[in-house]
Amino acid sequence: MSTFVEKARSQFPSLASGYIFADNAGGSQCAKIVVDRISDYLLNTNVQLGADYSVSVESTQRVASASVSAAKLFNAASPDEVAFASSSTQAAENLARALENDIQEGDELIVTGEHEANAGGWKKLAVRRGATVKFWHARQSESAPNNPYSVCLSVDDLIPLITSKTRIVAFTACSNILGSIVPVKDVIKAARTKASEVGIRKIEFSVDCVAYAPHRQIDVQGWDVDYCFFSFYKVYGPHVSGVYARAASLKSSLTALTHHFLDVDSISYKIQPGGPGYETTYGTTGVLDYLLSLTPSNDLAASFKAIAEHEQTLLGPLLAFLRSQEPRGVRIVGDEQAGLSRVPTVSFVVTGERALRSQDVVKTFDQKGGIGIRYGHFYAYSLVDNLTPKLDIVDAVVRISLVHYNTVEEVEKIIAILKEVLG
Q: Which helix (H) or strand (E) holds 56?
A: helix 54-74
Q: What sign does the CA torsion over 228, 233, 237, 239 have?
A: positive
Q: Where along the chain do its domains lie? A: 3-30+298-417, 44-290
Cα gap 395→128, rounded to integer Å: 33
DSSP H helical segments within 247-403, as ranges? 247-252, 278-283, 285-292, 300-324, 358-368, 381-385
Cα gap 281→350, rounded to integer Å: 41
Cα gap 387→282, rounded to integer Å: 41
Q: Are 397 and 377 in contact (CB under 8 A)?
A: yes
The one-letter amino acid at 135: F
CATH number of 3-30+298-417: 3.90.1150.10
Choosing among 3.40.640.10, 3.50.7.10, 3.60.150.10, 3.40.140.10, the CATH entry for 44-290 is: 3.40.640.10
Strand partners, 344: none
Q: Please give the average pLDDT of every successive group of 10 residues along the chain, which has 423 residues.
A: 93 98 98 98 97 98 98 98 96 96 97 92 97 96 93 97 98 97 98 96 97 98 98 98 97 92 84 91 98 96 98 98 98 96 98 97 97 98 96 98 98 98 95
CA 168 to chain centre: 19
Give the residue among 380, 133, 92, 113 at the shortest CA–CA distance from 226: 92
Q: Are 292 and 137 in contact (CB under 8 A)?
A: no
pLDDT at 113: 84
Q: Are 191 and 223 in contact (CB under 8 A)?
A: no
Cα gap 150→186, rounded to integer Å: 22
pLDDT at 79: 97
Question: Peptide bond before 389: cis, by omega within 30 degrees of 0?
Answer: yes
pLDDT at 263: 82
